[in-house]
Amino acid sequence: QAGAPVSISTLSLHSTNEKSKFPYCFPSLNPVDVYRQHIGESLGQVTGIDPVKIYQRLAWTNTLDKGDLSLPVPSLQIKGKNPQDLCKEFAEKFPPSDFVHPPTATGQHLQFFFKPQALTNTVVGRILKEKAMYGTNGNHGLHNSADPSKGRKKIIIEFSSPNIAKPFHAGHLRSTIIGGFLANLYTILGWEVIKMNYLGDWGKQYGLLVNGYKRYGSEEVLLKDPINHLFDVYVKINNDVARQEAPIKELKEQIKSKQEKNEDVAELEKELEKLLEDSEDENARRYFKSMEDGDQDALALWKRFRDLSIEKYKKTYARLNIDFDVYSGESQIKPESLKSAYDIMEKTGVSERSQGALIVDFTKHGAKKLGKAIIVRKDGTPLYLTRDIGAILEREQTFHFDKMIYVVAAQQDLHLAQLFKVTELMGYKDTAGRCQHINFGMVRGMSTRKGTVKFLDDILKDVGDKMHEVMKKNAAKYEQVEDPYKTADTLGITAVMVQDMTGKRVNGYDFNLEAMTSFEGDTGPYLQYAHARLCSMTRKSGLKPEDLVAADLSLLTETHAIDLVRLLSQWPDVVLNSAKTMEPMTVLTYLFRMTHILSSGYDVLKVLGSEHEVAKARMALYESARQVLHNGMRLLGFSPVDRY
């Protein structure tokens, strides 16, 4: 038909329902895959090389001046010819195409640049139509599973996992941010995602907490602010424990020195016994014992603490757009699971007795670096690792997961390596193989302006206040913000998260309030500003969605416009790539690349004052950019603001 816009969909060699002969190729979801197919077929035809092989070697470029796709010729492993010569030869042989420019041979790389028109029509058209679904595997069904009858793949993502009555420290914050991102990522890839919070809520210290509450607690304050109150109580009762420790230690030393001189210590030992017997530490042990034995009275207060804390956590997580499907925790591991784990360990010969304790000596099982780990203490009590072993077996039974991810600080690398290894040694090699530890480095100096030890809410409040101050500096703008407190809060949360996502996970960073709240540089507030600016352009243009869909995109001829389209075409690829790197940074870097192209183009690609058709085409482009920015920000867990 004359005049019909060229679109690369005419290029698809297969109907979209049909499975592509290229592996992991989803032309209906990913525009770049259409080009990969095209290049594979075309180059294959003239060179005799397997198109699938070419397809698989086509690589991303880091910057647009290096093309849209690039083929490292040596990776084709063609014997007997110099890659540089081959590269030139391929460039000359490549057949004329409506969709890509003749490739450029630069050294050993063949660079492909997409021709703008078809790309623009397809990419802008798709984004305006698919909106939030662009870049997702949303209603397109499966693409991860070779066998659709098996249904969606299931993943457990365990993250955040703070400890009740203790500070929510930077490690928990990072786990929350990274875990939230991974949960969103797997969701848009089409997986069934189970978000799990594995609370630290069990152990002698929770016996201590209950006793402390009986002495220092207040029902009223508990209801009002459980997290802070429980922490206060915990600090107080721990001070009592510490106070009692000094005389006990002294007495022990006296006994020791007397024994060395062969003097009688019976009296002193009696005294020591009494001190120990009456100590808070011993009280806590006894109390926790009754909790472990399932004494309902003993459990009642602990359960209230747990419930109230979870209620409060939920509110805070909601501010970060996170809600957990399961609040598990160390307390939830059934005694039967632990018992059965001990049995399996014994039967498989993984564990052994050592000085009254049950241990695993990894050095005897071909894992020298993992050392030894205690499984059951001399007094019969299990440990942190022990409960994790019980938990992994329970989760396997309950959920039959295809994959499980633990988002935990790198400080616990050894712990998780031991956990996976024990699981394997116990005969669950397959289970262990489906588990992955996603680790991260430390945040240095996370504190509020008033103090150090803090809870997530306090951190967010503090950043929000700072953000508010920064916003006030631009009085004209500030006046226009409808609800400045709410906006400051949202920008502040984005600020914290962007700072966290700026580097690779394994790297630590300094918590820097000043830097993260700035509108300059690649910060959260800047990203929000970029989104809000596009929203405001749409409002001011007075154009409706139907106008944009009907726009004549052939009017987008400027380099800035074309570069923006090229970048937008990459979004589905970026999503897939981030599933490989498991790094929020992969997405964030892309979003900032987009904001940079946008900001350098505003003067060139004006909407207001342009001829109507041109204005429509440009606005269609800006709206597409806004949509992709929005999709990316949502994936990272931010709440994009419409106005700032």
Q: Which residue has the tokens 């596009």?
A: 534
Our CB check for ligand ARG shows the closer of 248 and 417 to be 417
**From the candidates 38, 166, 229, 531, which is the catalytic residue?**
166
Distances (CA, A) of 67 to 103, 135, 597: 9, 21, 16
Closest CA to 343 of 378, 293, 393: 393
**From the candidates 38, 172, 229, 531, which is the catalytic residue?**
172
- Residues 54 and 39 sit within 8 Å (Cβ to Cβ): yes
Closest CA to 443 of 504, 490, 507: 507
The minimum distance between CB 626 and ligand ARG, in angstroms, equals 38
Closest CA to 448 of 456, 438, 440, 437: 456
Our CB check for ligand ARG shows the closer of 388 and 489 to be 388
Distances (CA, A) of 37 to 321, 489, 606: 38, 46, 36
- Strands of the sheet with 154-158, listed across from one edge: 326-329, 192-199, 154-158, 403-407, 435-438
- Three-class secondary structure of residue 281 per DSSP: helix
What's the rounded Cα separation, in Å, for the pair 106 and 104? 6
Q: Is 169 a catalytic residue?
A: yes
- Three-class secondary structure of residue 106 per DSSP: strand
The minimum distance between CB 198 and ligand ARG, in angstroms, equals 5
Our CB check for ligand ARG shows the closer of 290 and 316 to be 316
Our CB check for ligand ARG shows the closer of 408 and 556 to be 408
Binding site for ligand ARG (CB under 6 A): 158, 161, 163, 198, 200, 388, 406, 408
Q: Which helix (H) or strand (E) holds 39?
A: helix 31-47
Q: Is 166 a catalytic residue?
A: yes
Residue type at position 603: D
The minimum distance between CB 179 and ligand ARG, in angstroms, equals 11
Our CB check for ligand ARG shows the closer of 199 and 350 to be 199
The minimum distance between CB 158 and ligand ARG, in angstroms, equals 6
Q: What tokens does 277 get?
A: 């017997």
What's the rounded Cα separation, in Å, for the pair 69 and 60? 5
The minimum distance between CB 437 and ligand ARG, in angstroms, equals 9
Our CB check for ligand ARG shows the closer of 135 and 200 to be 200
Neighbours of 549 (CB within 10 A): 14
The minimum distance between CB 413 and ligand ARG, in angstroms, equals 12
The minimum distance between CB 408 and ligand ARG, in angstroms, equals 4
Return the HEC string of 164-221: CCCCCCHHHHHHHHHHHHHHHHHHHCCCEEEEEEEEECCCHHHHHHHHHHHHHCCHHH
- Residues 320 and 176 sit within 8 Å (Cβ to Cβ): yes
**From the candidates 38, 169, 454, 630, which is the catalytic residue?**
169
Residue numbers annotated as active site: 166, 169, 172
